[in-house]
C-alpha cells in the first residue's frame, strides 16, 4: 500500500509499505497522521487536495478514535502498561515492530 503522512512540524510525504503496522509505527515515530492513498493517485492530486485520503492513524487522538480508524483493517489500539499499542482484532495479538525496523520519515 501507499501512504501519505503529515505532522504539525510540516513534515509530509509519500511512502510504500507492505506491512500496515510498520507503516503506522513509521508515522507514529514522527507524530504524523497517516493516510492510505487510493490507487492511481498522484502526489500532485494530494497536494491539490483533489482526492480524499483515508485517515487510518492519528497519534494525537485517543485509543477509541484510532481503534475506529483501524477497525476495517482488523486492528485496534489500547493501553498496554505505560504505553499505547496496536493489537489484531481476530486474536488480540500485540502487533509490535522493532524500532530498528521502522522506516525513518522526513
Reported confidence tier of residue 2, pLDDT bands at 50, 70, 90: very high
Domain span at residue 33 reads 2-101
Interval 65-88: pLDDT, tens: 999 999 999 999 999 988 999 999
Nearest CA to 4 out of 71, 40, 18, 38 is that of 38
Mean pLDDT of 83-100: 93
The verdict on residue 106 lying in a domain is: no
pTM of the predicted structure, to 2 decimals = 0.89
Instruction: Kindly state whether residue 89 falls inside one of the protein's structural domains.
Output: yes
The share of the chain scoring above pLDDT 90, in percent, equals: 69
Count of domains observed in the chain:
1
Q: What is the pLDDT of residues 19-44, one digit of tens each?
A: 999 999 999 999 999 999 998 888 88
30 located within any domain? yes
**Mean of all residue pLDDT scores within the chain:** 92
Which helix or strand (DSSP H or E) is residue 47 part of? helix 43-47
Exposure of 45 by Cβ count < 10 A (0-12 exposed, 13-18 middle, 19+ buried)? Answer: middle
96 within some domain: yes
Amino acid at each position: 500500500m501507499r501512504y501519505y503522512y503529515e505532522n504539525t512540524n510540516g513534515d509530509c510525504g509519500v511512502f510504500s509499505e507492505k506491512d500496515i503496522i510498520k507503516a503506522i509505527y513509521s508515522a507514529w515515530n514522527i507524530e504524523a497522521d497517516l493516510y492510505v492513498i487510493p490507487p492511481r493517485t498522484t502526489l500532485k492530486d494530494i497536494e491539490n487536495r483533489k482526492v480524499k485520503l483515508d485517515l487510518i492513524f492519528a497519534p494525537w487522538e485517543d485509543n477509541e478514535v484510532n481503534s475506529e480508524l483501524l477497525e476495517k483493517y482488523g486492528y485496534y489500539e489500547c493501553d498496554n502498561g505505560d504505553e499505547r499499542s496496536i493489537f489484531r482484532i481476530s486474536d488480540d495479538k500485540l502487533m509490535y515492530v522493532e524500532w530498528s525496523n521502522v522506516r525513518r520519515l522526513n
